[in-house]
Structure 1
């Protein structure tokens, strides 16, 4: 069963960003939906993964929030199937202190996770942060972008090419599909090849809104990025681990 909150004027493409909520707990669906609508979002509600899957692929929202433990199709399987066809930003709702859920969700390609019970304010902050990272950069026609460490100009480092405005990544001219969070971590590393970035620095790059994440989150993103690059180049070794210090990018 699905429930959708449309825009007041009935437009098929509402002005507010669309957030899909998938959870078998009706109380959570209702509470989160009301909070998001109060912040200007449009919500689409689904009480099971099977119903959500078809809708999310046929008419993708701007972002989705999945509960993990659901009947018929749990959040892990739902994310796996979505990720096979889409780079839709996804936040997982996990059980409190369940590290296995958090790790598995990130490995499958979730952009973030929040442990239950959670703060609505925190969830909204993370949704806004991820949507901001996904926004394309608008420029005045004819105006050249200025490169910067966090900038929006294209970035070439050896065999790596990154275009932040279009969220494109290529390695040896082969496309690599990264989540928004993975992209920002890689951009922070590639901006200054050879410079060691601590986990805290990478978290600041990927989570600029003072959202708390722990060390294993960054490690999981790095591990998953390496696997993605090794699909197109099984010798990929451009992201170095400096044990006790952090990570660096080698463009040689």
Structure 2
């Protein structure tokens, strides 16, 4: 299978601390790979390096065979990788539709402060993730956490990614909201999207992934099927408290 994302010997140091430590893994095109580990394991740091928000100390990051490790974040997005954030980051002074518009605009200072609107495309993206017509005219402060997660997904989808990095997309959601987001991700999987998914909600994560990897202190400690990784003794000791 074609490799969508290849991480090879990735190292990120902060002073004497190695946040990622010779980390290597591959995500195949069309695959959904889970990434788990305890708090502080380095999962979000991995995402930040893939997106260029943090520059790796050493190692390579390839997207569909192309080395993107020296590119700025906007260039990486144009090459087809995008992410959500553990804590949603909407523009609070804009409507939901205007937030989606930001993702639709190419860079160049977002076409000189967000360019010409495309209301139909903004609406299409908003409705596709389960936001309502009324939600599009609201501000982010008026949305529930579940709807903020939907807005994050809509803004990410607006960049036309080939690979999506989802960071704790279920955090803070009700059972019903988790089911809605999970169904949306499953639909995108059926359409061929490639995913790398971080989640502490293991029951919600399991049906969404083809394989799973676990890291601890920036080091790969297990790789395989979801069941194999969760049952691995080192994973249970580090992530599940040894139970």
**Greater Rg over alpha carbons, structure:** 1
More strand per residue: 2
TM over 0.5: no
Structure with the bigger RCO (C-alpha within 8 Å, sep 6+) is 2
- TM-score normalised per structure 2: 0.29
